[in-house]
Amino acid sequence: MEQDSSRESPSQERSSLPGEPPSSALGQSFSQVLRRLTSQESRRGKTRSAALQDLGALIEAAECDQLFEGSGTSLRGMPEILGQVAKVLEKYAAPPKEQEGRGHANAEVAEKAAAVGLLILKLLGKVEAAKNSLLCPTWKIGLRHLAGPIYIFAVTHSLEQPWTSPRSHEVAGEVLSLLLRVTQCSSVAGFLHGENEDEKGRFTVIMELLKPDLNKESWKKNPATKHVFSWTLQQVTRPWLNQHLERILPPSLLISDDYQTENKILGVHCVHHIVLNVPAADLLQYNRAQVLYHALFNHLYTPEYNLIQAVLLCLLDLFPILEKGLHWKGGAARPTTQCDEVLQLILTHMEPEHRLLLRRTYARNLPAFVKRLGILTVRHLKRLERVIVGYLEVYDGPEEEARLKILETLRLLMQYAWPRVSCRLVVLLKALLKLICDVARDPNLTPEPVKNTLLEEATDCLILLDHCSQGQVKGLLVKTLQSCEDSKVVNCIRKVRQVSEGASYDGT
């Protein structure tokens, strides 16, 4: 695989272009134009426009047999030079490092990208013409050098980013479509992993091109690189991804370990994709799964609700892999797992939490942890009880997402740990009745459909609580039914009594 020189600085690029003299006059012309594009003078608008115009004229005037010619011994045949052209153009249109005045810089990048995209379309048009003419069999060699840099350019400017404009976005989309057509791929995924068994795919080539910009010192110099990497990674799924694990895992962890929340979330999404699409055996090898777990666990101490959401979803899919190596032999107590550790930390954070977005995020994921642990949730019962009671007391906005999820958690808890519920009967009964009264008396804050859902969920929990306590709830609700005047509360209590007694309930 050729070394990537497109990610080097302009001075390095300029010095690499002369090298061995090109084997044709056309190659020399291309090299001269590339020198102009990579020189300091190219920053001036007129010089840049003139160089791009000359490059476009060269591409248009070149015949297919000239454009893809090259001897077997020459290192500077036209396919290699065309690869250099694509790399320089991709680098030329790349967004600069984040800086002040980025609005003006982004507009300039979008303008460059639109102009470069039109040139690449001309170049791919020549490849397509050579492919259809059947008179230039070397077009495949040229395409092999062109495909990687052109793909990176297309993805960089076809994603919705600050450095794109409607025009550059449109041109980049056309470039990607034409690239797929020329390479005879029906999708980006097919382009990357290969659509046939005997076709290697280009994912390795793309990762090698991105590699110089994905190390600790350089990954922030081009703000597009992380997005191109993330988007490209998520196009490749089972069974193709595991063979690239050594290439994709370090950059994913590097991005997730950044101080900016946006980058942390992007990196966690990359890690999550790896967890979902790499076999457990490969992740367990060399302790990789433990490395991922500790990297994710550290994020749970941050107060960013969207990061917490991404991390918890990823951890829930990582737990089955981590627990594959655990085997309970009976007799002794089951060992605690990483799921226990995470749930304990979540409950610790939930108790004093007052920020609504974080409360909703924790509550949203709590039922999945109870399902995951099952009967072993009894290890956390005391803290769960405090969290459930505390969260049921607090109004959570018109959608009441947190309270609905807490009711779901309580229902699951009673289903899995019912022998331990009866001793908590009074506490849970008071919390549920208080919730029902608060919702029934709420004049206008909560929409009626949400109120009805809350009352139904709370009533179902009362019914389950009655089953767990061998019918004690019915007896405790008798006095409440006699003294209560609110029709909605009375309706819920009657439903609990009638369902618990085995009678059908018609809601009247």
| CATH classification of the domain holding 338 | 1.25.10
Q: What is the distance between the alpha carbons of residues 388 and 393, in angstroms, rounded to a whole number?
A: 9
Does residue 174 belong to any structural domain of this protein? yes
Same-domain check for residues 211 and 338:
no
**How far is 323 from 332, CA to CA, in rounded Å?**
17
Q: What is the DSSP letter of 332?
A: S
Better pLDDT: 351 or 54? 351
- For residue 21, the model assigns a pLDDT of 47
Model pLDDT, residue 296: 97
Contact present, 309 and 293 (Cβ < 8 Å): no
User: Looking at the predicted structure, is the pLDDT value of residue 196 above 50?
Assistant: yes
Q: Are residues 162 and 44 in the same domain?
A: yes
Q: Which two tokens stand for residue 208?
A: 């090698």
> Is residue 340 domain-shared with residue 228, that is, in the same domain?
no
- Residue 454 is predicted with a pLDDT of 94
Domain count of the fold of the chain:
2
260: in domain = no
Torsion of CA 157, 162, 163, 164, to 10 degrees: 50
Do residues 226 and 360 both lie within one domain?
A: no
> What pLDDT is recorded for position 429?
93
Same domain assignment for residues 344 and 219: no
Distance, in Å, from the CA atom of 88 to the CA atom of 14, rounded to the nearest integer, reads 10
Residue 339 resides in a domain: yes
Q: 389 lies in a domain?
A: yes
Confidence at 59, pLDDT banded by 50, 70, 90: confident
The torsion of the CA quartet 431, 434, 439, 444, rounded to 10 degrees, works out to: -130
Residues 215 and 342 placed together within one structural domain of the fold: no
Residues 6+ apart with CB under 8 A from 485: none
Tokens matching residue 398? 């018109």
Asked whether residue 256 carries a pLDDT value surpassing 90, the answer given is yes
Query: Do residues 271 and 256 make contact, with C-beta atoms less than 8 angstroms apart?
Result: yes
Choosing from 196, 211, 232, the residue where a domain stops is 232
Residue 308 in contact with residue 362, Cβ under 8 Å?
yes
Do residue 180 and residue 31 come from a single domain?
yes
The pLDDT, as a whole number, for residue 7 is: 42
Nearest CA among 356, 363, 352, 321 for reference residue 338: 321
> Is a pLDDT exceeding 60 seen at residue 15?
no
Is residue 347 domain-shared with residue 223, that is, in the same domain? no
* 221 & 346 share domain: no
Please report the pLDDT score of residue 325 as a whole number.
63
Q: Are residues 64 and 174 in the same domain?
A: yes
Highest mean pLDDT among 2-16, 22-36, 102-116, 170-184: 170-184
More confident residue, 41 or 400: 400
Q: Both tokens of residue 41?
A: 């003078």
Q: At what angle do helices 338-350 and 288-297 cross, to 10 degrees?
A: 0
In the numeric block, which tokens belong to residue 189?
Answer: 């995924």
* 185 lies in some domain: yes
What pLDDT band is residue 503 in, cutting at 50, 70 and 90? very low
Classify residue 349: in a domain, yes or no: yes
Q: Max Cα separation, the chain?
A: 101
Confidence at residue 200, expressed as pLDDT on a 0 to 100 scale: 82
Q: List the one residue out of 295, 293, 284, 353 whose CA is nearest residue 317.
A: 293
Q: Assign residue 20 a region: left if phi > 0, alpha if psi is -120 to 50, beta otherwise?
A: beta
Are 225 and 362 in the same domain? no
Mean pLDDT of the chain: 85
d(CA 9, CA 3): 15
Is residue 275, in this structure, part of any structural domain at all?
A: no
Judge whether residue 98 has pLDDT over 70: no
Percent of the chain with pLDDT over 70: 85
Could you tell me if residue 45 is inside a domain?
A: yes
Full residue range of the structural domain in which residue 139 is found: 10-232
Amino acid at 255: I
Query: Nearest 5°: phi and psi at 135?
Result: -105, 0
The residue ranking higher by pLDDT, 42 or 197, is 197
User: What average pLDDT does range 148-163 have in this prediction?
Assistant: 93
Distance, in Å, from the CA atom of 457 to the CA atom of 194, rounded to the nearest integer, reads: 50
Residue at which a domain ends, from 171, 204, 232: 232
- The upper half-sphere exposure of residue 86, i.e. CA atoms within 13 Å in the direction of its Cβ, equals 28
C-alpha gyration radius of the chain:
31
Q: Which of 216, 232, 248 is the last residue of a domain?
A: 232
